[in-house]
Structure 1
Amino acid sequence: MRGAYRNASRGRPTTIAAGLLALGVLAGCSSEGPAPVTKPPYTVDSVRSGLVSPEDLGDGAIEIEDEGHSSHVIYTPPNSIPTCPYVQRSENVEVAVEPAIEPVGGNPTGRTIVAPQKVGPSSLPVVTQGAVVFQSSSLVDDTMNAVVAEANKCPATFSVLGGPPTVVGEYKVGSRPIEINGWKGFAQHLVHTSPPEVNPETYDDLVTVVVRKANAIIYVGYTQIKSVGKRADSDEKVKALMKTTLARLG
């Protein structure tokens, strides 16, 4: 299964590491359901216990650890937090922007990817997720401020002119604040369209969410491949998922 997914991920961008994207989604119960499985202050183990599992996405999903292979179409360190996915591939960005921030003084959970074995327009989404846990409020504050500052530099539009066919094309980016169950941060929506001569049938619909609560920062990248003409709805779907799943961490 590992090999099958890696082949699929090379054929299509996923998120921060294989992008990317990539960020940490959690799954569990609603606010009216059972009590959370954990609560602040968080530990690496307690945060990992709440991250999304294949069962949260549905039949056919698998989970792998991102081992940090530089063969990713878009590479960022597996312990980093995403800020502006795919920007490092662009040739026309006028302001220097880091695609991810490597935190100092935090304990990362590592990055996991939950996805179908074969990625396509009718498949399940690809979720790329991780978190960093800190020992002091000043460290988590400094890291979140750095991530937000870098994400704010992400241009509204940029192009990738060269590279693998899966990343060539136009990118449009928008961002908004988000707060769910006491977790606060931002949701960044990125839509990638390929040149018509490369791929006229589908586009990539990616939402990256970075949120902080107490001593932890969680990120999740939620990617769908959509048929041209179909509405982009990853922002709605990831928010609905996180309303349920972030409740696991209290």
Structure 2
Amino acid sequence: MRGAERKAFRSRSTAVAAGLLALGVLAGCSSESPAPLTKPPYTVESVRLGLVSPGDLGEGATEIKDNGHSSHVVYTPPNSIPTCPYVQRSENVEVQVEPAVEPVGGNPTGRTIVAPELVGASSLPVVTQGAVVFQNSSLVEDTMNTVLAEATKCPATFSVLGGPPTVVGDYKVGTRSVEINGWEGFAQHLVHTSPAEVNPDTYDDLVTVVVRKANAILYVGYAQIKSVGKRADSDEKVKALMKTTLARLG
């Protein structure tokens, strides 16, 4: 190969290498997570960007606002933060436990429910969610401490003996700490089994996550109906879902 040809070949090789490097840089940029849609301090409007939407669950999901208690078999105020779901229905709990805490000095987003559009068998969960935004850190700390104190009192097991058939049965509860995208709090896993004469085929698999970051407290309840014998996996699914949704909040 002559000197001029070698020089031209090296030039072409350098150009190709530079092009490949540029493509690699572009590919790396495109694979990064999208920029957050907002950042602290949060407002009621901005924190709603991190809530679960029908699009997060998939085809067949819809969203409704929880305006009242007329359709609830287990009622807590729409602006409250959950601590121990269903415990208010139990007759054998020995320690007084509040099922939810109504925050003082906060601005709530209100409660929304994202669920399948059609009632019946579905692979989609029912997500119940909301958040409260505060003006200063002391109010956030006080409220989160109150929520944690009540959640800690939630018994490991309890029973509901009377009421609608959908809530009668045995409840097992487990709680662990969580950290997701800088949001810190706890996840409470509740499994409800009905008496055999009422419903021998399925059980309720519910995980409630309550997390705090900066000046906001956010909660998500993720409920599935599982066939008896199938593994409970709401804990894994809600964590994956919240990694996606909370990434929208910087």
What range is the shorter-chain TM-score in? 0.7 to 0.9
Letter in 2 for 1:58: G
Shift of 1:121: 5.0
Identify which of structures 1 and 2 has the higher relative contact order when contacts are C-alpha pairs closer than 8 Å and 6+ apart: 1
Question: Measured at CA, do residues 120 and 192 of structure 1 come closer, stay the same or move farther in structure 2, by a change above 3 Å?
Answer: farther
CA contact (8 A) 1:191 1:203 kept: yes
1:210 maps to what in 2? 210
Shift of 1:51: 1.1
Letter in 1 for 2:249: L
Shift of 1:118: 3.2
CA contact (8 A) 1:63 1:114 kept: yes
1:186 maps to what in 2? 186
Shift of 1:73: 0.5
Q: Distance in 2 between matches of 1:224 and 1:167?
A: 14
2:60 maps to what in 1? 60
Question: Measured at CA, do residues 177 and 120 of structure 1 come closer, stay the same or move farther in structure 2, by a change above 3 Å?
Answer: farther
1:143 maps to what in 2? 143
2:152 maps to what in 1? 152
Letter in 1 for 2:131: A
More helix by share: 2
Q: State the percentage of identical aligned residues.
A: 87
Secondary structure of residue in 1 paired with 2:237: helix
Secondary structure of residue in 2 paired with 1:62: strand
Letter in 2 for 1:230: K
CA contact (8 A) 1:130 1:218 kept: yes
The C-alpha deviation readout for 1:153-196, integer Å capped at 9, x for no partner, is 00000000000000000000000000011100000000000000
Shift of 1:62: 0.5
Q: Distance in 2 between matches of 1:239 and 1:90?
A: 28
CA contact (8 A) 2:116 2:122 kept: no
Question: Measured at CA, do residues 155 and 119 of structure 1 come closer, stay the same or move farther in structure 2, by a change above 3 Å?
Answer: farther
Q: Distance in 2 between matches of 1:165 and 1:106?
A: 36
Secondary structure of residue in 1 paired with 2:158: strand
Question: Measured at CA, do residues 189 and 136 of structure 1 come closer, stay the same or move farther in structure 2, by a change above 3 Å?
Answer: same
Secondary structure of residue in 2 paired with 1:241: helix
Q: Distance in 1 between matches of 2:186 and 2:32?
A: 25
Q: Distance in 1 between matches of 2:132 and 2:120?
A: 30
Q: TM-score, normalised by structure 1?
A: 0.86
2:199 maps to what in 1? 199
CA contact (8 A) 1:120 1:225 kept: no
Structure 2 unaligned spans of 5+: 1-30
Shift of 1:119: 4.5
Letter in 2 for 1:73: V
**Mapping for residues 209-228 of structure 1, pairs under 5 Å:** 209-228=209-228
Structure 1 unaligned spans of 5+: 1-30
CA contact (8 A) 2:207 2:234 kept: yes
CA contact (8 A) 1:83 1:98 kept: yes
**Mapping for residues 88-167 of structure 1, pairs under 5 Å:** 88-167=88-167
The C-alpha deviation readout for 1:195-232, integer Å capped at 9, x for no partner, is 00000010000000000000000000000000111100
CA contact (8 A) 1:121 1:226 kept: no
RMSD, aligned CA: 1.1
Deviates more, 1:67-76 or 1:81-90: 67-76
CA contact (8 A) 2:53 2:114 kept: yes
Shift of 1:244: 1.5
The C-alpha deviation readout for 1:62-97, integer Å capped at 9, x for no partner, is 000001224410000000000000000000000000
Aligned pair count?
A: 220
Secondary structure of residue in 2 paired with 1:155: coil
Q: TM-score, normalised by structure 2?
A: 0.86
Q: Distance in 1 between matches of 2:77 and 2:68?
A: 6
Secondary structure of residue in 2 paired with 1:138: helix
